[in-house]
């Protein structure tokens, strides 16, 4: 099916002038020009436009975009997967800032204390994201609650949840009290310790005992947002892929990140699909 330039502009949000510029520079050529002299696009051009928008979304300049564009489906999948990881990391960063906002608001309301270094957790202007405390593995379990208060809880990484929490903040949603915050950290610490014990006892991620623990993890996540199966799976993958999460989970057990991810995959399939 062919779509006019006006149709494509309406569905993509890209202005007519931008589409015209893309055509002039060869970044996005139309499929054909109709008898009415209007420009028309078909599915391959729509996919190419999506690639362009993804590149711009992750901050690429226009001259950097052209080499990234691919027509081969396999190459497109590889590029899209790269965009996906970049966007997940961006969402992780946004959650760090949201947590800093939460704690600052709670401090201003007199609900919890706020250390000076906590004021800047999540900011990247110094070229470094302090997402989790850089404690050694031996102290990671002992200092877990302190880590989460100091650096901000980064576990709610999903693009849709980031938008949801930001919107809730703008609407003046009540922040959790200090007691609720500490209770939440104690719950997730207990979950991680129980998973650690399950690994040491030789249990499998799909066992009923482990799935019960994973169910508690899912309920903990739901205190902040309601994940889809895809988001919950993405979160599990991020626990394994992101070095800051791996550092924290390794403090409990070297296999905990993969163990938790595998359990989350099963839970997502059984309860969220």
**Is 151 a residue whose pLDDT tops 50?**
no
From residue 239, give the alpha-carbon distance in Å to each of 45, 136, 143, 242: 35, 18, 19, 6
Do 3-69 and 83-272 agree at the fold level?
A: no
Going by pLDDT thresholds of 50, 70 and 90, the confidence category of residue 108 is confident
Beta-strand relationship, 39-41 and 32-33 = antiparallel
pLDDT per residue as tens digits for the range 26-84 = 999 999 998 888 889 999 999 999 989 988 887 888 888 888 887 777 777 777 777 77
Report the chain's mean pLDDT, rounded to a whole number: 77
Helices marked H in 68-207 — which ranges? 73-108, 137-140, 144-151, 159-170, 178-200
Beta-strand relationship, 3-4 and 32-33 = unpaired
Across 11-20, 46-55, 68-77, 172-181, least confident range: 172-181
Sorted by sequence, the CB contacts under 8 Å of residue 113 that are 6+ apart come out as: 107
**Residue 124 to residue 116: CA distance in whole angstroms:** 17
Give domain limits for the chain. 3-69, 83-272
Of 146, 143, 232, 216, nearest in space to 181 by CA: 146
Q: Phi then psi for 255, rounded to 5 degrees?
A: -105, 5
pLDDT per residue as tens digits for the range 239-260 = 898 877 888 888 889 999 999 9
Mean pLDDT of 8-31: 93
This model's pTM is above 0.95: no
Q: What does the pLDDT read at residue 64?
A: 84
Q: 3-69 maps to which CATH number?
A: 1.10.1660.10
**Residue 88 to residue 251: CA distance in whole angstroms:** 23
Residues 96/132, Cβ–Cβ less than 8 Å: no
Joined together, the tokens standing for residue 85 give 């990881």
Q: What does the pLDDT read at residue 115?
A: 83
The class level of CATH for 83-272 reads mainly alpha
**Residue 74 to residue 169: CA distance in whole angstroms:** 40
């Amino acid at each position: 099916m062919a779509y006019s330039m006006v149709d494509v502009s309406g569905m993509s949000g890209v202005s007519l002038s931008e589409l015209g510029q893309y055509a002039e520079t060869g970044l996005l050529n139309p499929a054909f020009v109709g008898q009415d002299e209007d420009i028309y696009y078909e599915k391959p051009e729509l996919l190419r436009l999506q690639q362009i928008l993804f590149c711009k979304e992750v901050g690429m300049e226009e001259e950097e975009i052209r080499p990234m564009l691919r027509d081969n489906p396999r190459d497109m999948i590889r590029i899209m997967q790269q965009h996906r990881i970049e966007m997940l990391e961006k969402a992780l960063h946004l959650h760090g800032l949201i947590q800093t906002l939460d704690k600052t608001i709670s401090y201003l309301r007199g609900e919890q204390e706020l250390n000076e270094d906590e004021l800047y957790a999540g900011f990247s202007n110094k070229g470094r994201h302090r997402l989790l405390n850089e404690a050694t593995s031996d102290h990671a379990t002992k200092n877990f609650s302190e880590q989460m208060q100091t650096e901000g809880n980064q576990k709610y990484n999903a693009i849709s949840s980031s938008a949801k929490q930001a919107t809730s903040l703008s609407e003046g949603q009540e922040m959790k009290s200090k007691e609720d915050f500490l209770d939440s950290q104690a719950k997730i610490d207990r979950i991680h310790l129980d998973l650690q014990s399950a690994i040491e006892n030789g249990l499998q991620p799909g066992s009923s005992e482990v799935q019960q623990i994973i169910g508690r993890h899912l309920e903990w996540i739901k205190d902040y947002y309601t994940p889809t199966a895809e988001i919950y799976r993405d979160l599990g993958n991020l626990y394994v892929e992101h070095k800051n999460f791996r550092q924290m989970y390794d403090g409990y057990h070297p296999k905990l990140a993969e163990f938790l991810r595998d359990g989350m995959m099963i839970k997502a399939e059984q309860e969220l699909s």
